[in-house]
Structure 1
Amino acid sequence: MDDFLARLDALPQGYSEGLYEGRRYGITLSASADGRRRWLYAEELGGTGRVSCNVYLAGGRVLLKPCEMPEERVTDFLLRLRTP
């Protein structure tokens, strides 16, 4: 989970773009005012791929809550995402 958090922390707040499995994605990352919740939404540009999740950080724990997809899909996306 440390690699996952490091990758999440490396993404800029707001909108950015990256490559996953050779496809371009538009990525939006938002955070709550206290920084304990982050929301990630990524959509394949010109395609149908989507990745969405909430990440809760509390008491040194990380709770990943994917939105209607397996946790493994979100983790794989973030770990293999390439950004400029």
Structure 2
Amino acid sequence: MGVLDKIKGLPVGYSVVEYQNKKYGVTRTDFNNGKSFKVFAKALGGSDFISLNYYITERSEFLKPCEMPNEKVIHFLNHYKRLENG
């Protein structure tokens, strides 16, 4: 499953996921008719956060983490678990 699939696995708007045994509040916003995405996740009761933008162009797709390494964002996307009742 690719990065875009993991982003689309998050519902649009606000949700709660589990990541590294902590709950994170996540906001996903879609722009440009589904060609760009913003994801911001913050640990509930903590200071850790994940922030990224993802862009789809005619030629390529781009993951743009906000002030953090790509690896941190990709690890979050590959390991979050959606919670039924957050």
Deviations 1:11-47 (A, max 9, x none): 1000000011001000000011421110000000000
- Report the RMSD for the aligned CA atoms in angstroms: 1.2
- 1:9 match: 8
- Runs of 4+ aligned structure 1 residues displaced above 3 Å come to none
Distance 2:18 2:60 in 1: 28
1:80 is aligned with what amino acid?
Answer: H
Deviation of the 1:51 alpha carbon: 0.3
Deviation of the 1:60 alpha carbon: 5.5
- 2:68 match: 69
Structure-1-length-normalised TM-score: 0.92
Name which of structure 1's ranges 2-11 and 61-70 shifts more when overlaid on structure 2: 2-11
Distance 1:7 1:36 in 2: 15
Unaligned stretches of 5+ residues in structure 1:
none
Unaligned stretches of 5+ residues in structure 2:
none
1:29 is aligned with what amino acid?
Answer: R
Distance 1:64 1:6 in 2: 13
1:14 is aligned with what amino acid?
Answer: G
- Percent identity over the alignment is 35
Structure-2-length-normalised TM-score: 0.90
